[in-house]
Amino acid sequence: MRITQTQIMVLSDPQPDPEDAGVSDLAVLTITTDEGITGLSEIFSVPPGVAKAVLDGPDSFFGRLLVGQDPVPPERLWKRLYESMTHGARRGWALICLGAVDVALWDIYGKLLQRPVYELLGGRAFAEAQIITGARDEVIPYCTIISHEWDHKSVLTQQLARVTALRDLGYRAFKIEPMNCAVETIVELARLARQEIGPERLLAVDVGYLWNDVGTALSVADRLAELDIFFLETPFPTDALPAYASLSAKTRVRIAAGEHTVTRWEFLDLMDRGGVNVVQPYMTTVGGLTEAKRLLDLARPRGALVCPGNWSTGILSAATVHFAAISPCTPCFEFVAAEVYGSPLRKALRELGEPVVDGAIALPTRPGIGLELPADLINHYRVG
Ligand SMILES: [Mg+2]
């Protein structure tokens, strides 16, 4: 089997609204082979023009290294692409594009063997030790909750309304997002959300890189600990690793970070220098499923949890489910519950993925990552 084409298309909601989880200019990669098998991935947070320069066609930065190659096994081409970046682009957007290539290659590999990708990544046996929120034959999405508006009253009413709606649909895990909010708003929202979902369901809090001093973060974390908060996400700017280390040494609440972190090496810094004990790789951004699996081998002996970030569409979710299925330290992964957001593209992509039943996703059975884009969806949402 040989790769014959690498192609980028761009999907968008007709009127994307970021406050309503609208999807704007999402680059989507397809890798085609001479046996008619096609691999799929999205490329979260890379501008489409960059994704095209890196991957669209045989003359693109990576396209020239992929076309004509055997796509199997994915690790071989991961190494080929990564080493090609040594002299100029080892991180950033190029690395995220490499991650998308890797997901698409695993998709091809799974379709070739007619098996779901998680079986090829190691299978479920690897994960048997870690069951916090679910059962052995399922993985657990946590719903990230945002507001339309961000003043005190709107944050409380809009986010609680979404928490309640999703609780009623059976979801078991939630993350509220009091971004740029005062301390009292953060604690009040957490208190009310805990009241809504009861003691059993998982609740996390993301404050979006809010503080610069450890004292404030520590006093809020202590108050959140009383509400049994599963983790507190990104209290400090990304590079403030000493602040992360200081906080995590003093608080009972797990500290989470890493939604934009690339490669296992940056995660090693987060864990060892930053004391972060919940790391949040995106399956594309980190460098693909191949790199995410390597990260597991570093996180596990450190006692860290790997709870993937996934604030994107059902295409990324499809890949994330396979990682969650093999991980021994992934009690939950991020999920955009399209039911409570307005984005029609997000809803359409969600419907293509594995269903959520009683707050859980069963182990996937379809070959590859298990998601195909129908032509009518592409025709409707394609903008480039
Ligand atoms: Mg976040």
Per-residue confidence (pLDDT) for residue 19, from 0 to 100: 76
Strand bridging mode 141-145 / 38-43: unpaired
CA of 235 to the centre of ligand 1 (A): 10
CA of 353 to the centre of ligand 1 (A): 23
Confidence band for 137, pLDDT divided at 50, 70 and 90: confident
Confidence band for 133, pLDDT divided at 50, 70 and 90: low
Share of the chain above pLDDT 70, in %: 97
Look-up: residue for tokens 């709606």?
165
Question: Taking the CB of residue 379, how many other CB atoms lie within 10 A of it?
Answer: 8
For residues 3-25, average pLDDT? 92
Rounded Cα distance, 188 and 61, in Å: 49
pLDDT tens digits for range 318-342: 999 999 999 989 999 999 999 999 8
The beta strands (E) that lie in the chain are given as: 3-11, 26-33, 38-43, 138-139, 141-145, 173-176, 202-206, 231-233, 254-257, 278-279, 305-306, 333-335, 361-362
CA of 146 to the centre of ligand 1 (A): 11
For residues 248-255, average pLDDT? 98
CA of 75 to the centre of ligand 1 (A): 29
Please determine, for residue 34, whether its predicted confidence score (pLDDT) is greater than 70.
yes
Just give the CATH number of 121-362.
3.20.20.120
CA of 208 to the centre of ligand 1 (A): 6
Question: Taking the CB of residue 5, how many other CB atoms lie within 10 A of it?
Answer: 16
Going 103 to 317 to 238 to 243, the CA torsion angle's sign is negative
Q: Cβ distance 60 to 97 under 8 Å?
A: no
For residues 2-25, average pLDDT? 92
For residues 67-82, average pLDDT? 98
Rounded Cα distance, 7 and 27, in Å: 10
Name the residue among 370, 383, 354, 376 with its Cα closest to residue 106: 370
pLDDT tens digits for range 211-232: 999 999 999 999 999 999 999 9
CA of 125 to the centre of ligand 1 (A): 30
Write a three-state SS string for 256-317. EECCCCCHHHHHHHHHHCCCCCEECCCCCCCCHHHHHHHHHHHHHHHCCEECCCCCCCHHHH
Tokens representing residue 156 in the block: 């409380």
Cα 248 to Cα 38, 128, 212, 256, 266, distances in angstroms:
44, 28, 15, 10, 18
Rounded Cα distance, 108 and 106, in Å: 5
CA of 143 to the centre of ligand 1 (A): 12
Rounded Cα distance, 99 and 114, in Å: 22
Per-residue confidence (pLDDT) for residue 186, from 0 to 100: 98
CA of 190 to the centre of ligand 1 (A): 16
Tokens representing residue 356 in the block: 């959520």
CA of 279 to the centre of ligand 1 (A): 11
Q: What are residue 232's phi and psi, to 5 degrees?
A: -110, 120
CA of 263 to the centre of ligand 1 (A): 18
Per domain, the residue ranges of the chain are 3-114+374-381, 121-362
Rounded Cα distance, 92 and 164, in Å: 38
Per-residue confidence (pLDDT) for residue 148, from 0 to 100: 87
Question: Number of C-alpha atoms within 13 angstroms, CB side, residue 361?
Answer: 29
CA of 144 to the centre of ligand 1 (A): 9
CA of 54 to the centre of ligand 1 (A): 27
pLDDT tens digits for range 350-384: 999 999 999 999 999 999 999 999 999 999 999 99
pLDDT tens digits for range 271-295: 999 999 999 999 999 999 999 999 9
Confidence band for 131, pLDDT divided at 50, 70 and 90: low
Per-residue confidence (pLDDT) for residue 128, from 0 to 100: 60
Per-residue confidence (pLDDT) for residue 134, from 0 to 100: 59
Per-residue confidence (pLDDT) for residue 109, from 0 to 100: 98
Confidence band for 124, pLDDT divided at 50, 70 and 90: confident
Range with the lowest mean pLDDT among 16-30, 73-87, 155-169? Answer: 16-30
CA of 206 to the centre of ligand 1 (A): 6
Per-residue confidence (pLDDT) for residue 264, from 0 to 100: 98
CA of 333 to the centre of ligand 1 (A): 12
* Average pLDDT taken over every residue of the chain: 95
For residues 14-25, average pLDDT? 87
Per-residue confidence (pLDDT) for residue 89, from 0 to 100: 83
Per-residue confidence (pLDDT) for residue 17, from 0 to 100: 84
Just give the CATH number of 3-114+374-381.
3.30.390.10
Confidence band for 130, pLDDT divided at 50, 70 and 90: low
Per-residue confidence (pLDDT) for residue 242, from 0 to 100: 98
CA of 180 to the centre of ligand 1 (A): 12
Rounded Cα distance, 137 and 361, in Å: 9
CA of 98 to the centre of ligand 1 (A): 22
CA of 304 to the centre of ligand 1 (A): 18
Residue 359 identity: G
CA of 336 to the centre of ligand 1 (A): 12
CA of 209 to the centre of ligand 1 (A): 8
Question: Helices 183-197 & 214-225, crossing angle to 10 degrees?
Answer: 20
Cα 207 to Cα 80, 148, 153, distances in angstroms:
38, 16, 17
Confidence band for 16, pLDDT divided at 50, 70 and 90: confident
Strand bridging mode 173-176 / 202-206: parallel
CA of 79 to the centre of ligand 1 (A): 29
Tokens representing residue 345 in the block: 């593209």
Rounded Cα distance, 65 and 63, in Å: 5
Burial of 4 (0-12, 13-18, 19+ CB in 10 A): middle
